[in-house]
Chains A and B, each alone.
Chain A
Amino acid sequence: MGFLDKQFSDGNIVITSFEDLLNWSRLSSLWQVGFGLACCAIEMMATSASHYDFDRFGVIPRPSPRQSDVIIVSGTVTLKMALRVKRLYEQMPDPKYVISMGSCSNCGGPYWEHGYHVLKGVDRIIPVDVYVPGCPPRPEALLEGLMKLQEKIRNHTMVKKSA
């Protein structure tokens, strides 16, 4: 049930549940950490640019993890970088979400066997909400991933903590 369904015909009054309001406001302004790792970051930047326009979903890159809601892990997570990614994630305020973008960040990608320096999936260090497959994923795929995350947030409830 959408947020704007229950509307009085006159006056500036909207009736909704607090939970819906909270979820709606969260999902409508997902500020991302301004952070990119590899070639996926180029696609992420293309998604932010005018043609695909991430901003229409309320996604704005923030220069500090302390002001961010979502981290898009866009690229190969090396073991050296993994410690930094984890620290960035820990610095974000709750509620925080993670989008794993691309094969490398999902499972190690082409480095899965001989990549002595690659973490085989960012989910080994931080909990991932949405995995976006592709190498690199097209901007449409990333947008789809973001909408999946919004769907997930829309169904959050305070009563029962979702996994």
Chain B
Amino acid sequence: MKPEEIFNLLKEKFNDKIIELNTSTPVDPFIVVDPLSIHKVCFYLRDDNQLQFNNLMLLSGVDNANGEKKTEADGSTTIVGGTLSVVYHIESTILKHKLTLKVFTPRENPEVESVSEVWRCADWHEREAYDMFGIKFLNHPDLRRILMPYDWEAGYPLRKDYKNPEFYHGMKVPY
């Protein structure tokens, strides 16, 4: 099934929760979904007979860095406003088709519904997106950091305005 057909199906079922279909990028076309409805959409995508998206290939966080950039006194930049996003690459191993979904969520309070109930493998992917970008996944069974130490307080390392701490447990961090 083509992304356009899937988009029409979804639009019919979820109308305003499906925001747009973007085909203008040189990469795969993607469907933008409301972050607080993504789990319902994903349940539908998985369970519908025409779609049967039974495999989540990848879930990743992105810092769009489209907010207002401010230069601090020490030369570093901070970003205010704008969005973070989560990208879902799903596929049907039965019907052999693929689809890309995106959700955009405000940088200051990034909240997205968890899809770990839909695809079990999303559990650790979402923990990684939380660990690296600070995106909170609502109704996630165990939202802890997965790679960084549990007591890491310096923020989320893959955000574009991340600043590494000078010390961690008395160990100097910069070179």
Q: A116-B164, A117-B148 are in contact. Are A79 and B171 (CB under 8 A)?
A: yes
Query: Given A80-B148, A80-B149, are A119 and B175 also a contact pair (CB < 8 Å)?
Result: no
| Chain B interface residue number, banded | 10 to 19
Interface string of A115-144 (1 = CB under 8 A from B): 011011000110000000000000000000
A residues 104-124 near B (Cβ < 8 Å) are 107-108, 112-113, 116-117, 119-120, 124
Residues of A within 8 A of B175 (CB): 107-108, 112-113, 120
When the two chains form their complex, are residues A82 and B157 in contact, meaning their CB atoms are under 8 A apart? Answer: no
* B174 contacts partner chain A, Cβ-Cβ < 8 Å: yes
Assuming the contacts A80-B149, A116-B164, A117-B148, asked whether A124 and B157 have C-beta atoms less than 8 A apart, the reply is no
A83 at interface by CB-CB < 8 Å: yes
Main SS of chain B's interface residues? loop
A53-83 near B? 1/0 per residue, CB < 8 Å:
0000000000000000000000000011011
Chain B contacts of A80 at CB under 8 A?
148-149
In this complex, what residue of B is CB-closest to A121? Answer: B175
Q: In the complex, which range does the number of interface residues on chain A fall in?
A: 10 to 19
- Within the complex, the shortest CB–CB distance from B147 to chain A, in Å, comes to 7
Q: How far is the CA of A150 from the CA of B86 in the complex (A)?
A: 54
A116 to B174, CA, bound (A): 8
B115-148 residues at the A interface, CB under 8 angstroms = 147-148
In the assembled complex, the Cα of A117 lies from the Cα of B148 at a distance in Å of 7
B152 smallest CB distance to A (angstroms): 8
Q: Can you name 28 A-B pairs with beta carbons within 8 Å?
A: A79-B149, A79-B168, A79-B169, A79-B171, A79-B173, A80-B148, A80-B149, A82-B169, A82-B171, A83-B149, A83-B169, A107-B175, A108-B175, A112-B175, A113-B175, A116-B157, A116-B164, A117-B147, A117-B148, A117-B157, A119-B171, A119-B173, A120-B172, A120-B173, A120-B175, A124-B171, A124-B172, A125-B171
The 5 residue pairs across chains A and B that have the minimum distance between CB atoms: A80-B149, A116-B157, A116-B164, A120-B175, A112-B175
